[in-house]
């Protein structure tokens, strides 16, 4: 594209953003400015931002804005995608494939998200890790919380829901700032939750399979990657051995056929069949151009990436992978999560 075309295209994106802000009466369309320097450090292999550990592998703050051509698709105005920035900031709202421009904001949240489906678009509601010890439920196209649950065993990192409505929350670290790794199960997404200890020092991502088994990953105290399972109805966590090496913990999600694990270091999604305590690699989905998909979310024919390294949200064909088919434009502050839901 020549320089004149790029200017025209950027102008069109701005026009779309303004139009979306005017029409989004149910959503807070205010777009907050990006934060200043986030004081990025490492505690072992775990990234620390403003003194708080996060589940991203790396940060490349101040990345140049990227533009994209929208993929042709039927427009469903009931759909929303949420790219969730650093803890305590905001989630940026999108209505892809209608446009790739931000249409609203949910304030005072941050981290990862999940919905009441194993993959695809959640049914009317979704959850976001909202604070140092909280996880909050929201309704699609609304920005006020429906319900907030408190996590008492440490600072939450991840969340997942099974088909019966149970909510799992992973713990990145305890309140002393030392080792975490627990998973907490809220039966029917209510109450105080039951904590299960695990061999992990840092729990990063989790996801259910259709049988109600919870899979999750993270680092051990020695800094080794580990994938684990809490089988449905059991209180005993077991280690799952993968047939390939995963470099850095990433999203764990069922895709309708396989259990997938995203590797933040390689920008690849590994598709596994699981038998007993062994996960056999069946396919690899490459996310070309991604810097650090801190969380991925699989929907029909696409996968969304909250990219902490590129400071944006990206859309890829799934399971084909390859280069992104769209890049969201809006405000982002170290994206850590992404989730999709519909009315």
pLDDT at 37: 57
Give me the pLDDT at residue 64, please. 45
In this predicted model, what pLDDT tens digit does every residue of 144-174 receive, in sequence order? 999 999 998 899 999 999 999 999 999 998 8
**pLDDT over 70 at 33, yes or no:** no
pTM, whole model, 2 decimals? 0.86
Q: How confident is the model at residue 178 (pLDDT cuts 50, 70, 90)?
A: low
* Mean per-residue pLDDT over the chain, rounded: 86
pLDDT score at 14: 34
- In DSSP notation, 207-271 reads EE-TTS-EEEEEE-TTS-EEEEEE-TT----EEEEESS---S---EEE-SSSEEEEETTTTEEEE
Per-residue pLDDT tens over the stretch 74-133: 456 789 999 999 999 999 999 999 999 999 999 999 999 999 999 999 999 999 987 788
Pairing of strands 147-150, 125-131: unpaired
Using alpha carbons, select from 120, 86, 57 the residue that is nearest to residue 247: 57
239/241 Cα distance (integer angstroms): 6
Q: Would you mind telling me the total number of residues written for the chain in this entry? A: 343
In whole angstroms, give the CA distance from residue 120 to residue 76.
Answer: 14
- Taking the domains of the chain in order of start, what are their residue ranges? 3-342
Task: Please check the confidence at residue 215 and state whether its pLDDT lies above 90.
Answer: yes
Condensed to tens digits (0 to 9), the pLDDT of residues 270-310 reads 999 999 999 999 999 999 999 999 999 999 999 999 999 99
Q: Between 23 and 285, whose confidence is greater?
A: 285
Q: How far apart are CA 290 and CA 173, in angstroms?
A: 27
Contacts of 18 (CB under 8 A, 6+ apart): none
Which pLDDT score, from 0 to 100, does residue 52 have?
Answer: 84
Cα 144 from Cα 69, distance rounded (Å): 32
Is CATH 2.120.10.30 what the domain over 3-342 is classified as, yes or no?
Answer: yes
Residue 207 · residue 254 · CB < 8 Å? yes
Q: Report which of residues 44 and 249 the model is more confident about.
A: 249
Name the token pair of 236. 């005993």
Q: Average pLDDT, stretch 22-39?
A: 49
Burial tier of 283 (Cβ tally within 10 Å: 0-12, 13-18, 19+): middle
pLDDT at 38: 65
């Amino acid at each position: 594209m020549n320089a004149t075309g790029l200017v025209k295209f950027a102008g069109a994106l701005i026009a779309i953003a303004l139009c979306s802000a005017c029409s989004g009466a149910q959503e807070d369309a205010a777009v907050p400015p990006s934060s200043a320097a986030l004081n990025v450090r490492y505690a072992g292999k775990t990234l620390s931002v403003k003194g708080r550990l996060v589940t991203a592998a790396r940060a490349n703050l101040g990345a140049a804005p990227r533009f994209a051509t929208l993929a042709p698709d039927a427009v469903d105005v009931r759909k929303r995608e949420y790219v969730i920035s650093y803890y305590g900031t905001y989630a940026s709202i999108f209505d892809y494939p209608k446009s790739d421009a931000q249409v609203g904001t949910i304030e005072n949240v941050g981290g990862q998200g999940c919905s009441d489906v194993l993959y695809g678009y959640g049914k009317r509601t979704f959850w976001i890790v909202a604070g140092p010890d909280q996880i909050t439920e929201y309704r699609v196209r609304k920005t006020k919380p429906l319900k907030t649950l408190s996590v008492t065993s440490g600072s939450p990192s991840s969340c997942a829901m099974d088909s019966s409505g149970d909510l799992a929350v992973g713990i990145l670290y305890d309140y002393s700032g030392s080792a975490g790794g627990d998973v907490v199960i809220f039966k029917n997404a209510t109450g105080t939750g039951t904590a299960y200890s695990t061999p992990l020092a840092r729990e990063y991502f989790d996801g259910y399979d259709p049988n109600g088994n919870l899979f999750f990953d993270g680092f051990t105290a020695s800094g080794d990657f580990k994938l684990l399972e809490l089988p449905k109805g059991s209180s005993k966590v077991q280690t799952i051995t993968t047939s390939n090496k995963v470099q850095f913990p990433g999203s764990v999600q069922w895709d309708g056929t396989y259990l997938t694990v995203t590797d933040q270091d390689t920008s690849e999604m590994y598709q596994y069949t699981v038998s007993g305590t062994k996960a056999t690699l069946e396919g690899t989905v490459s996310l070309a151009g991604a810097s650090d998909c801190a969380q991925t979310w699989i929907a029909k024919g696409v996968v969304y990436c909250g990219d902490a390294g590129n400071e944006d949200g990206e859309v890829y064909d799934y399971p084909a992978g390859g280069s992104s088919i769209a890049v969201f434009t809006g405000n982002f502050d170290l994206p850590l999560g992404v989730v999709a839901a519909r009315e």
